[in-house]
Structure 1
């Protein structure tokens, strides 16, 4: 039961009409704030096309938005995600030596497929290129869609190929209204699990190229085959339980981006206009007097002035008509508060994108080492989370599809694969390195972590995007070569070995 509202002399309530002030419907600052309490899909699906089109426009035409997307792609995906196969050898009844041998062979075969364009149905991208496209689509469109295809007639080692699909093609056939069984092109069961996806055979926007979409055809693609092989990879964030589609990363800050764009354009236009005007010439003559003087119109007066071709330059003497005055023009642009105001808005935008201001603007000129490190560490937590999300819902499902084919073809031994699929498909993905802010300090910190047992060489190498086994193998080859040449392997200077050291 709510309390009775009592008004004070100023008309404001002395006692809140609700237990929570945030739920008050009578407070002046809250009374007009009554958002709808819809379901996840009712809040999103009808507005999704508008959000996506505006997000794409920002990514195309706003430099900061485009740079933010590229920054996220570079730090999360970078040059690509490297597979590290890690079968659960203990649960499979194997030993570590067997697991290392199996992993090396599997990773080599994976690279023979993933590092070529054979993995792409359009034969234009490698797996790293596909990964970049999926993540970029996930940022701009809010979701990414891919179809694992089986194309055995291409005369290549593996029939498994991936076709990327623009999320716009995912929709209800025949303009069917969303209901409990189908949501924006996704058929679901009573628990919300996807059963099938309805994908248009042509993009809805192809009508701009003259392709008619009056009779748009849709194809129903089951989420999985009858024997469980995944047929659709739909990557998107679920902010709420029951959410069927994703939304762009710019959604919460889109108004700020647009208003900032308007403000910056207005300031620039004002500055350009101010730069073009140096002074005004005042005349006591009115329009009729000017006409009588020249026997014509006011345009004749201006034409006479134009014939003088006066140039404004240093030390110039400007001739004017009798009675005219030169009034100085003192523009108020650029606005003295422009820089600080824009910076504050950009910091707000960076918070919405989970990017520190320094990384958003690529500007570390006002930041010391400690602040820069703290900002980048906070950003790195977000990058690692996004990388894990991308690996879990995109890279790992594709690896499972490829591994299944490799095992069925006898290229890889995996007895009981279908009974213990999760054990065989266990893996992790190594992304681009974090880089160094102060290489000396961070190298010393890495050494200390290893010496006191807080870290491993595998973890330290993975932080820099390296594979620890490849690092050790390369170091072993280098040291062998150094010994062959009589160089000291214990010093960084590569000094020649003494007679005692050689013995």
Structure 2
């Protein structure tokens, strides 16, 4: 039995040895593969120098999707941006420059209703224009702002807070007086009225926005009162369909719904500028309070501080002060004394250079021009125009964004309200889209040298590269109004002698001669 047991054990052992060898070989191959993968990861991680960790440079961390970042930082960024624009002159200047160059006094609309391939119906255009001019004065529910100011508030809120909203109100609304015969108004809403902390996964609500499966907003949940009103505020919301709410938001990432402040990249720099200026001002005030010091002479000339007989301390000498006035002569100095004027090293001559360099970076981070933010317009015509041309592209992008998100929806609802109130009638065979055709007039790039700009535009018009209406629009005027004023002037001056140089043919010839002379002239 013992022999049989040993034989069985030997057979079993011989059967298991190949299996153990196979397991060991498999583990060895797995370890080799793992070492190769780890080596590949290490090699991949150090291909770019920016990905190599170091003791002095921390690696960036991805904090998640755009919506998650908004949920973490949007409110604090909004509060900080408001504080900066309220108390910091540079931040206020940046906001003013953005509003001034993107919406200006207000983006206007010139109606141009026409059939496809047809001409503009002047009668319809004039009816829409008259209604638009009337509505411009009272476009919003409070009657406190005209439409130009409303545009400034909407875009300013978007740039500072990251987003702003307005609600379309068309037709009869309980307790609402539209203020004009056009039954249409807007209600402007600050970003605070859409709660960032309102989330409901069951209804697919995130940050106050109810979305469908594709991520498109279908409704907004709006506070009934502003959360900053104080003690009487109640956290009650109402559901407003997305078709009635228009959002103007500064969005940087795909699928991001709520906006972030345009001041986010430059907030620390703005605070540093403010702290630096404050310290320099304090140093200058202290320096202005310092004047001079009296260097004492021989100590024997001031006597002893103790009575040589009694040993009691003598009374201190009276405090001496020299009143510094222009032309004074220090004739009350004791022997050996002299006056030394204190050099405070203030004002610091490098302050302007440092601040100007910081403002250049602030302008770059906020899509504004450095000369407008710093109010420094030094440089040649070519340098100034180069900056203006490059920067105007950023203003044009923001202007088109504002037009697409604000002006076109408002104009569409305005025309629909005019049809609803029978202020205008849709001609037979026309579509509403054809009736809504219009030109949106944004702020135009200013002229640095009006003569050169006018000559260039006139030359393009003469060569057929631009129409007169386009040149008029580029100057910020309404072609219809310019034509009417010219006809009115012609009627007023009929029968009178025409001043020299006002004949269009003579002016065109003179312009061409001057343009050729300037073209042949060597640049400065």
Same fold (TM over 0.5): yes
Asked if structure 1 preserves the Cα contact closer than 8 Å seen for 2:220 and 2:240, the reply is yes
State the SS of the aligned residue for 2:240: strand
Asked if structure 2 preserves the Cα contact closer than 8 Å seen for 1:2 and 1:17, the reply is no
Q: How big is the shift at 1:36?
A: 2.2
Pairs within 5 Å for 1:50-449: 50-87=76-113, 89-90=115-116, 95-97=118-120, 99-114=121-136, 116-117=137-138, 119-150=139-170, 152=172, 154=177, 156-171=180-195, 176-177=198-199, 179=201, 181-207=204-230, 211-213=231-233, 215-224=234-243, 231-280=244-293, 304-305=318-319, 308-313=320-325, 314-317=327-330, 328-364=341-377, 366-414=378-426, 420-449=431-460
Q: How big is the shift at 1:52?
A: 0.8
Q: 1:373-416: CA deviations, max 9, x gaps?
A: 11112222222222211111111111111111211232222269
Q: How big is the shift at 1:479?
A: 2.1
Greater shift in the superposed pair: 122-131 or 333-342: 333-342
Asked if structure 2 preserves the Cα contact closer than 8 Å seen for 1:310 and 1:318, the reply is no
Distance 1:219 1:358, change over 3 A: same
Greater shift in the superposed pair: 63-72 or 425-434: 425-434
Q: How big is the shift at 1:448?
A: 0.6
What is the alpha-carbon distance in structure 2 between the residues aligned to residue 88 and residue 185 of structure 1? 41
The match for 2:477 is 466
What is the alpha-carbon distance in structure 1 between the residues aligned to residue 38 and residue 294 of structure 2? 69
What is the alpha-carbon distance in structure 2 between the residues aligned to residue 184 and residue 88 of structure 1? 43
What is the alpha-carbon distance in structure 2 between the residues aligned to residue 350 and residue 295 of structure 1? 70
State the SS of the aligned residue for 2:188: strand
Q: 1:272-306: CA deviations, max 9, x gaps?
A: 10111123457899xxx999799899xx969x42x
Greater shift in the superposed pair: 402-411 or 266-275: 402-411
State the SS of the aligned residue for 1:46: helix
Asked if structure 2 preserves the Cα contact closer than 8 Å seen for 1:3 and 1:17, the reply is no
**TM-score, normalised with respect to structure 2:** 0.78
**TM-score, normalised with respect to structure 1:** 0.81
What is the alpha-carbon distance in structure 1 between the residues aligned to residue 459 and residue 335 of structure 2? 85
Distance 1:469 1:324, change over 3 A: same
The gaps in structure 1 that reach 5 residues or longer are: 7-14, 225-230, 495-503
Q: How big is the shift at 1:237?
A: 2.5
What is the alpha-carbon distance in structure 2 between the residues aligned to residue 292 and residue 138 of structure 1? 76
Q: Does 1:477 align with 2:482?
A: no
Q: CA RMSD in A?
A: 3.3
Distance 1:275 1:18, change over 3 A: same
Q: How big is the shift at 1:421?
A: 4.6
Greater shift in the superposed pair: 355-364 or 270-279: 355-364
What is the alpha-carbon distance in structure 1 between the residues aligned to residue 304 and residue 220 of structure 2? 76
State the SS of the aligned residue for 1:45: helix
Distance 1:295 1:57, change over 3 A: farther
Asked if structure 1 preserves the Cα contact closer than 8 Å seen for 2:51 and 2:59, the reply is no
Asked if structure 2 preserves the Cα contact closer than 8 Å seen for 1:150 and 1:159, the reply is yes
The match for 1:486 is 496
Distance 1:388 1:296, change over 3 A: farther
Q: How big is the shift at 1:258?
A: 0.4
The gaps in structure 2 that reach 5 residues or longer are: 1-36, 505-524
Q: 1:6-40: CA deviations, max 9, x gaps?
A: 9xxxxxxxx8842222222x34454x122224100
Asked if structure 1 preserves the Cα contact closer than 8 Å seen for 2:74 and 2:260, the reply is yes
What is the alpha-carbon distance in structure 1 between the residues aligned to residue 445 and residue 61 of structure 2? 41
Distance 1:129 1:336, change over 3 A: closer
Q: How big is the shift at 1:268?
A: 0.9
What is the alpha-carbon distance in structure 1 between the residues aligned to residue 154 and residue 112 of structure 2? 24
Distance 1:191 1:415, change over 3 A: farther
Query: How many correspondences in the alignment?
Result: 455
